[in-house]
Structure 1
Amino acid sequence: MRILSFNIQNLRLRQRGDQPRLDGARDRDEIGEAPELDPADRRLSAALLAQAGADLVLLQEVFDKDTLDWFNTRLLPAAGLRPYPHAHCPPGNDGRGLDLAVMSRQPVWLTSHAQVTAADLGLDAPRLDLPVFRRDCLMVETGGLTVFTCHFKAPYPDPDTARPVRRLEAEATRRIIERRFGDPSSALWLIAGDLNEPFKPDATPAIQPLLPPFSSDLMTRLPEDERWTYFDSHSGRYGQPDALLASPTLAARWPEAIPQVLRAGLAYEATRHRGAHLPGVGRHRPHASDHAGVLLELSGL
């Protein structure tokens, strides 16, 4: 099984006059850029998925099911990839519509935790009755594997106030896994997604509850300078918010499973990437996203 996790950066379908059209891979402070960059971005997003050839695709920042279906049935075939027969984008808690989405070649069983509260999980929080997750923790079960795909609170606009939110999301994800499995260390599960941990080597990560020994960080199978998955064009900084955290049993069963960071869709301004770029990538835009995709192959699953 080939599994791709990818923050696709604000994928939203809008009506432009009487024509539907996808927003580009851009943040909201880039609204003055040329409109023809939007479809070019999304062709590159589709091309990156075609390059990955994944059986299971976990997307972050998808507006809704209509957006996902348009991308899946219109853009993926144009990129040479068959549409995924199973495509889901349940509503989460992000008021801007930045939801989690799943596309799969095989049937999947989904469990949303968007409405789970701290009280439901027995966690301590300032408001026990509010949803814990800013988007969701979506449990995806397929082929003997359980994946928990997440998109935690970003460290913006104030890192100090965002950190405890992200810490609570990590604690909640761990509690969900512990309740799902009697012995989490012996089950086959994977946490995949944008956990939004900023790059601060000397700081205790907010996502510490999910890190070893509870899990095995598969990204550490890469050389340290090859783990980066994100480029912030405003600050010029690189980071690794995108994670693959496996159960100890999964990590032991697939010791040869080394993640691949797919950076071919990043803009040329991310100069640490010296490999090939997809045709049409620009200095800043067009690009597939400001995140790279992270691909993992579990042979025989």
Structure 2
Amino acid sequence: MRLASFNVENLFDRAKAMNLDTWAEGRVVLDRFAELQKLLGQVTYSDADKARMATLIIELGMEESDIGPFVILRRNRGNLLKRPRTGGVVITANGRIDWVGSLELRDEPINEIAMQNTARVMSDLNADILGIVEVESRPVLTAFNTQVLPAVGGMPFNQVMVIDGNDERGIDVGLLTRNGFVLDIMRSHVDDRDAAGNPIFSRDCPEYYVTTPAGATLLVMVNHFKSKGFGSTQSSDARRHAQARRARDIYEKRIAEGFDHIALIGDLNDTPDSAPLAPLKESTLRDAFTHPAFDDGGFPGTFGLGNAGNKIDYLLLSPKLFDEVERGGVFRKGAWPGSRPKRWETYPELTEPKHAASDHAAIWVDLNI
């Protein structure tokens, strides 16, 4: 059987701020969005809070309207703010109870060729179990599975599952399985919290229990740890470290319960030797990339141009599962290969960076279970 992981970076729609020309530009917008959202959620608004909220609303392009270039402020009931004719924004609410509404990122469609290349990767991987990272929702993944995959000659998966996570941008994690591989049990950790009461996982750390045709149970934990952007380095590192520690604890508990075929897969947003991922390295989990039968194609990374500093996608396997690996590799045909020179073969349709299926390569292993 083949197990794979692929960060698709959304299938149909993606936040406009995440599609800006440079990563730095998008980070500014998303940082402002996150700060404003946190302030708006407070029970009580101080004068300083109100002043900062007004500044952020203006910086996000909503001085004259609730619809900005990248963000929408939805006000359903109550009074949050007023916009004087002389300009500016004045926050009139004294706390969250005074108004009902939400702050949302605006989406825009994914490039059609990129969408088709994403489907080609998912089809050509030929995985029996495929972990998906950065997918909008289960309905979106289902539509992609039944409409876009067949359009490029692919075979739809039998089961499609996404548990709605903590990220409001629509970048969740999910699982697809082929005929004979039955998703029997699911367990979510979306509400696991730290000592301060904050959610540990940026999205979720779902446990998917899949029964193979041979009758074995494979536990797949799909994850997407906190990115290095959108927050200070210190806070981002601390969040990833907490996520790694909690994921390790879940893994070790399942091992103690007798499950010996476990895979923790996905985009962990850091390198194998990084301090934030140390809790996973301290466990018995083994990186499929270190298996003698794994071929990275000469490029150790999984993101961007495949450099070692961009090795951020993982197939971490329990010892018994690691021993069952027959071969593995990195599927880069849908990733932009650079131009001077091209680093790897791509689909003929991939002629510009915007046509890439994703900035991430897909990764896979064949297992004898």
Please name the residue that 1:146 is paired with. 219
SS in 1 for 2:353: coil
- Partners of 1:279 and 1:248 lie apart in 2 by 39
Measured against aligned partners, the alpha-carbon deviations of 1:62-84 in whole angstroms (never above 9, x if no partner) come to 11112111110111111212211
Query: Is residue 299–residue 308 contact of structure 2 (8 Å, CA) maintained in 1?
Result: no
Residue 274 (str. 1) matches residue 361 (str. 2): no
Please name the residue that 1:296 is paired with. 365
Give the letter for the 2:227 counterpart. Answer: A
Please name the residue that 1:179 is paired with. 253
- The alpha carbon displacement at 1:227 in A equals 2.3
Measured against aligned partners, the alpha-carbon deviations of 1:254-284 in whole angstroms (never above 9, x if no partner) come to 3x33x21011001132768633211200231
- Partners of 1:25 and 1:261 lie apart in 2 by 29
Which of 319, 327, 335 matches 1:248?
Answer: 319
- The alpha carbon displacement at 1:51 in A equals 1.0
Q: In the superposition, relative to structure 1, how do residues 101 and 87 fare at CA in structure 2: closer, same or farther (>3 Å)?
A: same
Please name the residue that 1:194 is paired with. 267
- The alpha carbon displacement at 1:167 in A equals 0.3
Structure 2 unpaired stretches of 5+? 27-68, 70-107
- Partners of 1:247 and 1:174 lie apart in 2 by 11
- Partners of 1:24 and 1:45 lie apart in 2 by 18
Residue 117 (str. 1) matches residue 193 (str. 2): yes
Q: In the superposition, relative to structure 1, how do residues 276 and 111 fare at CA in structure 2: closer, same or farther (>3 Å)?
A: same
Q: Number of residue pairs matched?
A: 273
After superposition, the CA RMSD in angstroms is 2.9
Residue 218 (str. 1) matches residue 288 (str. 2): yes
Please name the residue that 1:121 is paired with. none
Measured against aligned partners, the alpha-carbon deviations of 1:23-67 in whole angstroms (never above 9, x if no partner) come to 5999331499xx997111100000011111111111100111121
- Partners of 1:74 and 1:24 lie apart in 2 by 22
Which of 219, 231, 235 matches 1:161?
Answer: 235
- Partners of 2:173 and 2:278 lie apart in 1 by 22
Query: Is residue 111–residue 354 contact of structure 2 (8 Å, CA) maintained in 1?
Result: no
Q: In the superposition, relative to structure 1, how do residues 228 and 271 fare at CA in structure 2: closer, same or farther (>3 Å)?
A: farther
Query: Is residue 154–residue 196 contact of structure 1 (8 Å, CA) maintained in 2?
Result: yes
TM-score w.r.t. the length of structure 2 is 0.67
Query: Is residue 231–residue 237 contact of structure 1 (8 Å, CA) maintained in 2?
Result: no
SS in 2 for 1:9: coil
Q: In the superposition, relative to structure 1, how do residues 55 and 272 fare at CA in structure 2: closer, same or farther (>3 Å)?
A: farther
- Higher deviation after alignment, 42-51 or 207-216: 207-216
- The alpha carbon displacement at 1:11 in A equals 2.6
- Partners of 2:127 and 2:17 lie apart in 1 by 24
Please name the residue that 1:170 is paired with. 244
Measured against aligned partners, the alpha-carbon deviations of 1:219-275 in whole angstroms (never above 9, x if no partner) come to 123578532110179xx9951110111111211233x33x21011001132768633
SS in 1 for 2:355: coil
Q: Which runs of 4+ in 1 moved over 6 A?
A: none
TM-score w.r.t. the length of structure 1 is 0.81
- Partners of 2:343 and 2:262 lie apart in 1 by 33
Query: Is residue 208–residue 220 contact of structure 2 (8 Å, CA) maintained in 1?
Result: yes
Structure 1 unpaired stretches of 5+? 13-21, 119-124
Query: Is residue 264–residue 278 contact of structure 1 (8 Å, CA) maintained in 2?
Result: yes
SS in 2 for 1:231: coil
Query: Is residue 10–residue 63 contact of structure 1 (8 Å, CA) maintained in 2?
Result: yes
Measured against aligned partners, the alpha-carbon deviations of 1:140-171 in whole angstroms (never above 9, x if no partner) come to 11122111110000011332220000000001
- The alpha carbon displacement at 1:198 in A equals 4.6
- Partners of 2:2 and 2:15 lie apart in 1 by 26
- Higher deviation after alignment, 100-109 or 187-196: 100-109
Please name the residue that 2:153 is paired with. 80
Give the letter for the 1:253 counterpart. Answer: E
Q: In the superposition, relative to structure 1, how do residues 261 and 237 fare at CA in structure 2: closer, same or farther (>3 Å)?
A: closer
Q: Report which of the two structures shows the higher radius of gyration computed on alpha carbons.
A: 2
Q: Which has the higher contact order (CA 8 A, sep 6+)?
A: 1
Query: Is residue 196–residue 241 contact of structure 1 (8 Å, CA) maintained in 2?
Result: yes
Query: Is residue 133–residue 169 contact of structure 1 (8 Å, CA) maintained in 2?
Result: yes
Please name the residue that 1:209 is paired with. 279
